[in-house]
Structure 1
Amino acid sequence: MERVHVAITRHVKPGCEAEFDRASRAFAIESSHDPGEAGVQLIGPLPGSTRGEYGILRTFDNREACDAFYASDRFAEFQESVAHLVEGDGVRRELTGLEAFFRGFGAPPPRWKMAIVTWIGVYPTVLLWTWLLAKPLAGAPYLLKAAVTITLAVVTLTWGVMPLLTRVLAPWIHAGREGRRG
């Protein structure tokens, strides 16, 4: 089954940021061991932002775990406990495909920016694995060489390169998005 990635964006009332941050962290820790929970990440406002926009990013093992979590009493109680700290309801979005690498606030960045960052990650990663595997796989059939190279490139991109690139390039990726809501 495919993992499910969900982003919820909340606008915190001025002066309530510290209390919301504490409540969110406690909830993240408390719920991090729920069945099907595969990870949670809390994101504070983007540097320079004055809008109090916070993100809660969750990954679930599958659709059933995701649906069960958001239908749970625990989630409803958390929502109720922070209602006085936030403006309106949170914006919930599922992240799919490349968008999951570009998790963040509001709408995803423009596709052309996602394509450029992805190319910056893919090109050197594929070249590196092709070079490193040239001798060890010298006599192997072409399809096997390609399968091994692509597998290692995907693993490297997923757990190393793309998270690093999206963090380092975040100011550019999200530039010009202040004031937009997804």
Structure 2
Amino acid sequence: MDNTPITVSIERTVDPARIAEATAWMQTGINLATGYPGFLGSGWVRAGPNTTTWHMLYRFTDAAALSHWEQSPERAWWLQSGSGFAREKRSERRTGIEGWFDEPTEVTVEHTGGVDDVPPRWKQAVTIWLGFFPLNLLFTYLVTMLVPGWDLLPLVVRVLLTTVCLTPVMVYALLPLVTRTLRRWLTPSR
């Protein structure tokens, strides 16, 4: 029997008109879980003051203890009592201490939202291209103009330097901006 601690991370969407009720509901869930054997702790945070996204973590000593909580009538009642104002969007299970602090060694993701929540791959590809093409074009133009002998470097070296420079810009700045800008197109409301 595996005695590896398991951390569960859940992302929920909460009705903004029922914040006080949702706050009490989240705390009630924690209080209920506290009484179960193997419970190691939990917590929750709102993603920001003007967002409907909330995150909750809870941790149990092993899979059996977690299963006992997750299949309990108390948890079923608690989930049902919040169904009018809180909807689970995503759930991740992480094993080991990394569930709290480090990169996981094993992660299981359960996307509980509708299939329509994830944009089709072709839209994702278009979004990435819309960010990468102008960035790559601008970088290539500038580096060719400003770095003497750039065009004399071997192609592999130029591509390596280009991707090393542009990947962080894409991941941390440009792609989030493009994704935010195209949010309605990527995931239109149904």
Q: TM-score, normalised by structure 2?
A: 0.49
Matches within 5 A, 1:98-177: 106=114, 107-135=117-145, 136=147, 137-176=150-189
Task: Quote the Cα distance in structure 1 between the aligned partners of 2:58 and 2:185.
Answer: 32
Any stretches of 5+ residues in structure 2 without a counterpart? Answer: 1-7, 28-42, 67-74, 93-112
Task: Quote the Cα distance in structure 1 between the aligned partners of 2:164 and 2:20.
Answer: 43
Question: 1:157 Cα deviation (Å)?
Answer: 0.6
Closer, same or farther: CA 15–133 of 1 in aligned 2, 3 Å: closer
Task: Quote the Cα distance in structure 2 between the aligned partners of 1:110 and 1:173.
Answer: 8
Partner residue in 1 for 2:59: 71
Higher relative contact order (CA 8 A, sep 6+): 1
Closer, same or farther: CA 13–133 of 1 in aligned 2, 3 Å: closer
Question: 1:144 Cα deviation (Å)?
Answer: 0.9
Q: Spell out, residue by residue over 1:95-131, the C-alpha distance to the aligned partner (whole angstroms, 9 max, x if none).
A: xxxxxxxxxx653112221111111011111111111
Residue 44 of structure 1 pairs with residue 51 of structure 2: yes
Residue 86 of structure 1 pairs with residue 99 of structure 2: no
Partner residue in 2 for 1:48: none
CA contact (8 A) 1:10 1:89 kept: yes
Task: Quote the Cα distance in structure 1 between the aligned partners of 2:152 and 2:184.
Answer: 45
Secondary structure of 2:188's partner? coil
Question: 1:161 Cα deviation (Å)?
Answer: 0.5
- Identity, % of aligned pairs? 26
Partner residue in 1 for 2:99: none
- What one-letter code is carried by the residue in structure 2 that aligns with 1:128? L
- What one-letter code is carried by the residue in structure 1 that aligns with 2:44? F
Task: Quote the Cα distance in structure 1 between the aligned partners of 2:89 and 2:168.
Answer: 31
Corresponding pairs, count: 127
1:10 pairs with 9, 12, 21, which one?
12
Residue 27 of structure 1 pairs with residue 44 of structure 2: yes
Greater radius of gyration (CA): 2
Closer, same or farther: CA 15–163 of 1 in aligned 2, 3 Å: closer
Compute the RMSD of aligned alpha carbons.
4.1
Question: 1:8 Cα deviation (Å)?
Answer: 3.8
Task: Quote the Cα distance in structure 2 between the aligned partners of 1:132 and 1:91.
Answer: 43
Question: 1:85 Cα deviation (Å)?
Answer: 6.7
Task: Quote the Cα distance in structure 1 between the aligned partners of 2:165 and 2:91.
Answer: 30
